[in-house]
């Protein structure tokens, strides 16, 4: 199906609801198949869609200028060489004639509804049903209508045509009905929403990406279950590289967005934005929405990899859809050979009175082929992003304090209480006690010639800011050569 047909598939039943003459409250709720008028060959629909697409291209090139019907006819004759001018005129007249669309919209202010009830029926005008009382449960949603449904604007004198705003929107929507290949641009909208403090838009954007991913995931499942759809299978093979590139781009963008959620500056902006909202918001709602998309990407990547592996190894086997009625008619017309008939009777016929139906287990191998899952590992595109980042403060602390601290230890062993009393935990006008303790846990990151020793004496130290540090034993930094001459209790290196 084309993008236009998929757009119509999504709206056809809504149009049927709009045109329904069913009485509200009627007990007759059964719906029959709609009998639509027309040629039933898609000619007029295809002609109109081609005309709208051509007018959109011309709209960009001419800055929304009018186009003569002769140019439209010359372009459409590339597809329909025998197209007559009358057919084109009919399509233009139909698309340029508006039809009234009735809908309902929330009307929270009853006084405003009653004040506008006398207005004429035009776009967003109130219908006579709007004058119902406040006790009516449907009065909260006022009935309205619009006639901005014409897709083409036609000049009365010259007959030249161009797209209306509604027509331009229809062509744009038709081009965005599907494709995961272009959802990477939707992922960039998450970064734009974070930059503009428009946090409420992030769940809606991620849901759009999630719908595209789930649509392709379901398509992959259908192809694996019914590989007779050669056209879709060939399209997946041709676009395999593009799908992987799009998924990789979406994944990198969303990982970047999730990393930004943890920055202090964005947290402050989010808190200020949340206080101004009437609804309750939490930062976990945003990270959860992004996480669901990342999980869906991993699942889709695994399914795509499994499908391609099955194609490469020739393991896709299926009997497709079995028409049992046709199978029964075939058995009546031509009976199977004796061997097959004996096998069927032996497997399916009940031989005891207590049995009333055949067993289902023997039927399963005849209808489908199953195989075990080859791998449960998720496909990850950027493995370098999985490396845990180093603490930048620890790196700066070791780079600045490391040489001086190493010279101090070479002069004499340095215990933890002595290091604290000498102020080695003060760096860049900040408290770097965790970074100093990291050095006493692993002295190799400071200097390969140093080691950590343990002295069998307890210590208790009170810092100027009121904190109290105590321990049953005292760790100390020493040279490896000095450790060899130290007592046994002082040679025990603490595990990293």
Domain tally, the chain: 3
DSSP codes, 119-159 = S-SSTTEEPGGGG--TTSGGGGEEEEEE-TT-SEEE-TTT-
Query: Is 398 in the same domain as 449?
Result: yes
Residues 120 and 188 occupy one common structural domain: no
Whether residue 127 lies inside any domain: the answer is yes
Tokens matching residue 486:
């130290």
- Per-residue model confidence (pLDDT) at position 476: 82
Boundary of a domain, candidates 175, 209, 240: 175
Residue 138 scores a pLDDT above 50: no
Query: Which pLDDT score is estimated for 483?
Result: 57
Q: Is the pLDDT of residue 356 over 80?
A: no
Mean pLDDT for the chain?
75
pLDDT digits (tens, 9 = 90+) for 205-214: 888 888 778 7
70 lies in some domain: yes
Asked whether the beta carbons of 8 and 42 are under 8 A apart, the reply is no
Does residue 24 lie within any of the structural domains? Answer: no
Do 285 and 163 lie in one domain? The reply is no
Give residue 74's pLDDT band: very low, low, confident or very high (50, 70, 90): very high
Cα–Cα distance for residue pair 51/67, rounded to 1 Å: 11
Helices (H), ranges, 414-487: 416-421, 433-441, 480-485
- Summarised one tens digit per residue, pLDDT across range 433-452 is 788 888 887 777 777 777 88
Classify residue 342: in a domain, yes or no. Answer: no
Q: Ranked by mean pLDDT, which of 60-69, 94-103, 122-131, 230-239 comes out on top? A: 94-103
Domain range enclosing 299: 180-313
Mean pLDDT along residues 164-173: 82
Same domain, yes or no: 290 and 231: yes
Q: Does residue 379 fall inside a structural domain?
A: no
Domain boundary among 159, 175, 191: 175
**Both 262 and 224 in a single domain?**
yes
302 plus 197 within the same structural domain = yes
Q: Which range among 207-221, 298-312, 409-423 has the greatest average pLDDT?
A: 409-423
User: Does residue 43 share a domain with residue 168?
Assistant: yes
Q: Which of 175, 208, 243 is the last residue of a domain?
A: 175
Is the confidence at residue 229, as pLDDT, over 70?
A: no
Tokens of 152: 């083409």
**Which of 182-186, 187-191, 378-382 is modeled with the greatest confidence?**
187-191
The residue-averaged pLDDT of 89-115 equals 75
Are both 73 and 139 inside the same structural domain? yes
Residue 385 forms part of a structural domain: no
**Do 191 and 144 reside in the same domain of the chain?**
no
- pLDDT value at residue 224: 67
Q: Establish if 33 belongs to a structural domain.
A: no
User: Are 169 and 187 found together in one domain?
Assistant: no
- Mean pLDDT in residue range 214-233: 67
Residues 48, 74: one domain? yes
- pTM listed for this prediction: 0.42
Residue 166's contacts (CB-CB under 8 Å, 6 or more residues apart) are: 148, 149, 150, 151
SS3 content of the chain, % helix, strand, coil (to 5): 55, 10, 35
Buried b or exposed e, range 432-469, using 16+ CB within 10 angstroms: bbebbebbbeebeebbeebbbbbbeeebeeeeeeeeee
- In 3-state terms, what secondary structure has residue 79? coil
The rounded distance, in Å, linking the Cα atoms of 124 and 147 is 9
More confident residue, 41 or 355: 41
* Residue 122 pLDDT greater than 50, yes or no: no
Residue 343 in any domain: the answer is no
Confidence band (pLDDT; 50, 70, 90) for 87?
A: very high
- The count of other CB atoms within 10 Å of the CB of residue 356 is 7
Residues 268, 214, single domain; the answer is: yes
């Amino acid at each position: 199906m084309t993008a236009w047909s998929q757009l119509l598939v999504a709206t056809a039943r809504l149009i049927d609801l709009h045109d329904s003459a069913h009485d509200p409250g009627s007990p007759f709720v059964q719906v029959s198949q709609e009998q639509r008028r027309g040629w039933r060959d898609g000619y007029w629909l295809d002609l109109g869609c081609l005309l709208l697409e051509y007018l959109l291209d011309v709209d960009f090139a001419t800055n929304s200028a009018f186009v003569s019907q002769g140019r439209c006819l010359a372009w459409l004759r590339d597809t329909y060489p025998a197209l007559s001018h009358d057919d084109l005129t009919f399509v233009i007249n139909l698309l340029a004639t508006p039809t009234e669309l009735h809908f309902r919209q929330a009307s929270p202010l009853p006084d405003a509804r009653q004040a506008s009830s006398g207005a004429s029926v035009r776009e967003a005008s109130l219908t006579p049903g709007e004058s119902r009382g406040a006790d009516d449960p449907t009065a909260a949603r006022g009935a309205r209508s619009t006639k901005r449904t014409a897709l083409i604007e036609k000049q009365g004198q010259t007959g030249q045509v161009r797209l209306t705003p509604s027509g331009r929107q229809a062509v744009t929507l038709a081009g965005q009905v599907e494709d995961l290949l272009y959802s990477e641009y939707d992922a960039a909208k998450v970064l734009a929403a974070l930059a503009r403090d428009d946090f409420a838009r992030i769940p809606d954007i991620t849901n759009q990406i999630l719908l595209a991913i789930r649509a392709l995931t379901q398509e992959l499942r259908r192809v694996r279950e019914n590989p007779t759809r050669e056209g879709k299978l060939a399209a997946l093979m041709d676009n395999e590289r593009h799908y992987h590139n799009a998924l990789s781009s979406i994944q990198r963008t969303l990982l970047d967005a999730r990393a930004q959620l943890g920055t202090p500056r964005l947290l402050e902006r989010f808190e200020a934005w949340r206080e101004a909202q009437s609804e309750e918001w939490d930062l976990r709602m945003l990270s959860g929405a992004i996480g669901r998309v990342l999980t869906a990407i991993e699942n889709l990547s695994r399914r795509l990899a499994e499908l391609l592996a099955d194609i490469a190894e020739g393991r896709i086997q299926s009997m497709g859809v079995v028409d049992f009625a046709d199978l029964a008619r075939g058995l009546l017309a031509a009976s199977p050979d004796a061997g097959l008939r004996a096998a069927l009777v032996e497997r399916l016929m009940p031989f005891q009175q207590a049995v009333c139906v055949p067993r289902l287990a023997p039927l399963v191998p005849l209808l489908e082929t199953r195989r075990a899952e080859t791998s449960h590992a998720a496909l990850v595109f950027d493995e370098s992003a999985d490396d845990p980042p180093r603490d930048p403060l620890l790196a700066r602390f070791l780079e600045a304090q490391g040489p001086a601290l190493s010279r101090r230890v070479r002069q004499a062993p340095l215990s933890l209480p002595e290091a604290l009393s000498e102020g080695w935990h003060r760096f860049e006008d900040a408290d770097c006690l965790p970074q100093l303790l990291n050095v006493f846990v692993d002295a190799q990151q400071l200097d390969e010639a140093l080691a950590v020793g343990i002295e069998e004496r307890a210590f208790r130290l009170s810092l100027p800011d009121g904190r109290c540090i105590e321990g049953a034993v005292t760790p100390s930094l020493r040279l490896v050569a000095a450790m060899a001459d130290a007592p046994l209790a002082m040679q025990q290196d603490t595990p990293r």
